[in-house]
Chain A
Amino acid sequence: MFAAFGLFPLLYTAFVSLYRVELQAPGDMEWRGLGNYTALLGDEYFWVALRNTFTIGVLSTVPQLVTALGLAHLLNYRMRGRTFLRTAVLLPYATSVAAATLVFAQLFGRDFGLINYALGLVGIDPVDWQNDTVASQIAVSTVVIWRWTGYNALIYLAGMQSIPDELYEAAAMDGASRWRQFFHVTLPGLRPTILFTVVVSTIGATQLFGEPLLLEGSISGGISHQYQTLGLYMYEQGWGFFHLGRAAAIAWVMFLLIVVLVGLNALIARRRSRKEARR
């Protein structure tokens, strides 16, 4: 039963990606071999989408996880209203991609957006958050960062609470400051959790779809595809231009990308822990 849900779509999508299949008549399939893949490699927008997926992925994942780590450290203190604070940082997680993106699209508006107004107060010229490549990618990343930082902070917090107290006591006895405790006890103890969040965020970033779709509602990710991700490119090919076979090929490229990225993460993690063991 579960093989049906997991393995079957994987193989069937690979199968579809070798055919010409159109959305209007999904039953009629015409053999194309690797034609969908070679067409993809020859499409400049595929490369644009691949590059955008990568840059938006880095722009959204890195600040998100670093901030989450800092927040988790603070949330782990003894303080008043701790439960309230923990719940409040998770609040953005309760919204949908659609709702969050629509609100941010408004905040990032070029002429009347609040963000440009605030920038104007400190003397910065209005930024074109929709058409400028870097700015639009920052805008997309901001939505991702806003929605997921609190969630990741809670995951780090859970990881921090499972680090044995004796380690902190020993470090404190050796005269380690708070900062040194954070770097030499907390961070190494959190390594598996950090790897987990890096993997999950990488997978999430590879699939980014709703945020670039709704920033201004176009399926091409901006006039010059400046913030179109692979997920959106797949949707455009499959449900915008009706090429399901082509969309299946893109889905498989996304899957391979995830496998490579996750493998790379695991490799780096293993190498680092081996290096540490040798020390």
Chain B
Amino acid sequence: MTALVRPARSGPSRAGRTLHAGPFAYTILIVAVLFSAFPFYWTIVAASRSNADLAKVPPALLPGRHLMRNFEAVLEEADIGKALLNSLLVSGSITLGTVLCCTLAGFAFAKLRFRGRGALLAVTVGTMMIPPQLGVIPLFMLIAELGWVNQLQSVILPGLVSAFGVFFMRQYLVQSLPDELIEAARVDGASTARIFWSIVVPIARPGMAVLGLLTFMAAWNDFFWPVVALSSSEPTVQVALRQLGGGYVHDQSVIMAGTLLGTLPVLLVFGLLGRQIVGGIMQGAVKG
């Protein structure tokens, strides 16, 4: 089942459509890539300039020398250091929790027989259609009641399981886990828990890795709920960026330095594992 982690390759059998790209196709694609990449480049340029440089006409197009100074300013003014640490804690917990819970639930939906399985799965998938705005108000009233407003667990706990993840792991396990393997283990007297740890988890590992990547990126970049549940004293990176952009800091180059710091971790993940992410999205799309 390597297909899940690698984009499907079109082999020689696809002769009917494997047209070779001409100069036209390359040109358009390179322009598209430049459009994709330019805002990143510009963030670096703006983050490494002084505010006065940015107010010049014509504007500076190359990186300058103020990167470190701007980083220091943003660490001081917006406490980005704490925000980065919080984000790491939140995204890490959510990723671990989601991968574990969704593998368990996905296994149950894929291979265990129980009453109302189909209906439960339908409800789970159905929740993906419900906008987060609907969940936010009951959730907010709940955390207000518990006294958790502005505490990290209010962001971590609701993120520990996701309908998408359950569905993703179910699809993965339906395909890659043969029933015979489970039956054989049962005959040998293994409990369901034992089967899960010794058979399901090793087989599910590539799927779990892709789910973990997608979950980490989504959790790191989540905006709406953290903005509602947290405030300036206990921010995630996204909440801190909102404050930077909300007029507390007027220095454009400092704002861009904060943006750069907040984006770097996820860009790093993307740079190292982009191929797997592409594969995961394409596979999820075919199944969805």
Residues of A at the B interface (CB closer than 8 Å) are 2-3, 5-10, 12-13, 16, 21, 26-27, 70-71, 74-79, 83, 85-92, 94-107, 109, 111-112, 114, 117, 146, 150-151, 154-155, 157-159, 161-163, 165-169, 172, 178, 181, 193, 196, 203, 206-207, 209-210, 213-214, 217, 231, 234-235, 238-239, 244, 247-248, 250-252, 254-255, 258, 262
Contact = CB atoms under 8 A, between A and B. Distances in A.
Given A8-B138, A146-B39, A154-B285, A98 B238 contact: yes
B141 A26 contact: yes
Given A83-B275, A103-B259, A112 B54 contact: yes
Contacts of A91: 36-37, 40, 270, 274
Interface of B is mostly: helix
Interface of A is mostly: helix
A85 to B, nearest CB: 5
B123 A95 contact: no
A273 B161 CA distance: 37
A251 B16 contact: no
Contacts of A26: 140-141, 144-145
Contacts of B57: 112, 117
Contacts of A169: 15-16
Contacts of A105: 245
A258 B134 CA distance: 12
A99 B145 contact: no
A92 B34 CA distance: 11
A264 to B, nearest CB: 15
11 contacts: A2-B127, A9-B134, A9-B135, A79-B26, A86-B7, A87-B277, A106-B252, A159-B285, A169-B15, A207-B131, A255-B130
A54 to B, nearest CB: 16
Contacts of B137: 9, 12-13, 16, 238, 244, 247-248, 251
A89 B36 contact: yes
A5 B127 contact: yes
Contact of A90 (B26, B46, B281): B281
Nearest to B120: A2
Contacts of A252: 134
Contacts, number: 262
Chain B interface size, as a band, is 35 or more
Contacts of A262: 129
A254 B21 contact: no
B47 to A, nearest CB: 10
A98 B281 contact: no
Contacts of B267: 94-95
Among A178, A206, A238, residue most surrounded by chain B Cβ atoms (within 10 Å): A238
B98 to A, nearest CB: 13
Interface of B: 7-8, 10, 13-21, 25-26, 28-29, 32-33, 35-37, 39-40, 42-43, 46, 54-59, 120, 123-124, 126-127, 129-141, 144-145, 161, 163, 217, 220-224, 227-228, 237-238, 241-242, 244-247, 252, 255-256, 259, 262-263, 266-267, 269-270, 274-275, 277-278, 281-283, 285-286, 288
Contact of B130 (A6, A146, A163): A6
B103 to A, nearest CB: 16
